[in-house]
Amino acid sequence: MASGRPPAQGSFRLVSQRDRPWDSVCRVAAPRQDIQQQKFLVIGHRGAAGHAPENTLLSVRKALALGVDAVEVDVYFVDGELVVIHDDTLERTTNGIGPVCDHSFDDLRALDAGDGEQIPTLREVFETVDRKAMVNIELKGPKTAGPSVALIEEFVRDAGWPRDSFLVSSFEQEELRRAREADARVRRGLLSSSRWSANTLETARELEAWSLNLALKPAGAEAVSEAHRQGLKVFVYTVNSAQQAIDLELMDVNGVFTDYPDIILHRHQDPTAAA
Ligand code: G3P
Ligand code: MG
């Protein structure tokens, strides 16, 4: 479920919510100021995948309870529905078999995605988050951009979500292009796992991306500062150690995706991390 083992945690001093001023912004669902204020965002990866079955509502609720700034989930479009699951096959995270897209929505909903949880819909994730955090929708499957952007627009229009509470991201340039066509106002993040190159920046520029969401390896100081020079935010995945998060924060990275939001939120209280 979780990608990678948690590092040794030491004994963290739990800080109160009042110690983290941007939390009040999250709780009352006022217009988000995090990005403008350059807060280092803690993004729950697949919810809080280190604590609960990934990409389930249980995992999303756990991430919210831990106090994340944002939740990241992965989506496919199946049978006219946006479903939240990471792999394009069912075996690793459910008791089902075969490709996700070969199943009907009803079949998918009958599966156990861990601890008795159903595979959720993206709508259920939005309803669960309920403006308590931002949401990053990673477009994994084909043709997910249009329906995802339409759902975002519905929640902006009918439920009063600020549009900048949402980020759609993808490794697939085609999906990001479709997202821009559907509504250019919704923020787009270009995902990259490969070695840093000028091409990545060129692609981000062409897609009018708002952020670069980088794997840990290519996220060096040069990559971060070049992306910033181009006006892009930089988020890094998947960061499960306090020390790594501190190093990235010092590099001016804008936030990290983590399976263990508690570790990253309390990174400065980790006695094994050099602040
Ligand atoms: O969006 C960050 C991260 O989720 C990308 O990789 O494979 O965990 O979806 P993956
Ligand atoms: Mg993902």
Q: Residues lining ligand 1, judged by CB closer than 6 Å?
A: 45, 72, 74, 86, 138, 169, 191, 213, 237, 257
**8 A C-beta contact, residue 235 and residue 214:** yes
Residue 188 belongs to domain spanning: 39-269
Ligand 2 centre distance from Cα of residue 124 (Å): 17
**CATH number for the domain harbouring residue 121:** 3.20.20.190
What separation in Å is there between the alpha carbon of 243 and the centre of ligand 1? 20
Catalytic residue at 45? yes
* C-alpha to C-alpha distances, 123 to 101, 119, 147, 159, nearest whole angstrom: 18, 12, 11, 12
Distance, in Å, from the CA atom of 135 to the CA atom of 138, rounded to the nearest integer, reads 10
**pLDDT truncated to tens, each residue of the chain (275 aa)?**
334 434 333 222 222 333 332 222 333 233 344 444 579 999 999 999 999 999 999 999 999 999 999 999 999 999 999 999 999 999 999 999 999 999 999 999 999 999 999 999 999 999 999 999 999 999 999 999 999 999 999 999 999 999 999 999 999 999 999 999 999 999 999 999 988 888 999 999 999 999 999 999 877 899 999 999 999 999 999 999 999 999 999 999 999 999 999 999 999 997 777 65
Please say whether the beta carbons of 188 and 167 come within 8 A: yes
pLDDT digits (tens, 9 = 90+) for 91-110: 999 999 999 999 999 999 99
Ligand 1 pocket: which of 86, 134, 168, 216 to mutate (most atoms within 8 A of CB) = 86
Residue 56: inside a domain: yes
Is the residue at 108 inside a domain? yes
**Cα 79 off chain centre by:** 24
Q: How big is the CA angle at 19 (ends 16 and 21), to the nearest 5 degrees?
A: 125
Nearest to 192 by CA among 180, 179, 204, 174: 204
Number of domains, the chain: 1
Pairing mode, strands 81-84 and 70-78: antiparallel
The pTM of this model reads 0.87
Whether 10 maps to a domain, the answer reads no
> How many CA atoms lie within 13 Å of 52's alpha carbon, on the beta-carbon side?
22
The radius of gyration of the chain's CA atoms, rounded to the nearest angstrom, is 18
Quote the ligand 1 centre to 18 CA distance (angstroms). Answer: 30
**Does residue 116 lie within any of the structural domains?**
yes
* Cβ neighbours, 10 Å, residue 9: 15
Task: With respect to residue 275, please indicate whether it lies within any of the assigned structural domains.
Answer: no
In a domain, 22, yes or no: no
Distance CA 212, CA 116 (A): 35
Of 45, 51, 103, 266, which is the active-site residue? Answer: 45
Q: What is the pLDDT of residue 3?
A: 41
Q: Does any domain span residue 246? A: yes
From the list 51, 86, 103, 266, the catalytic residue is 86
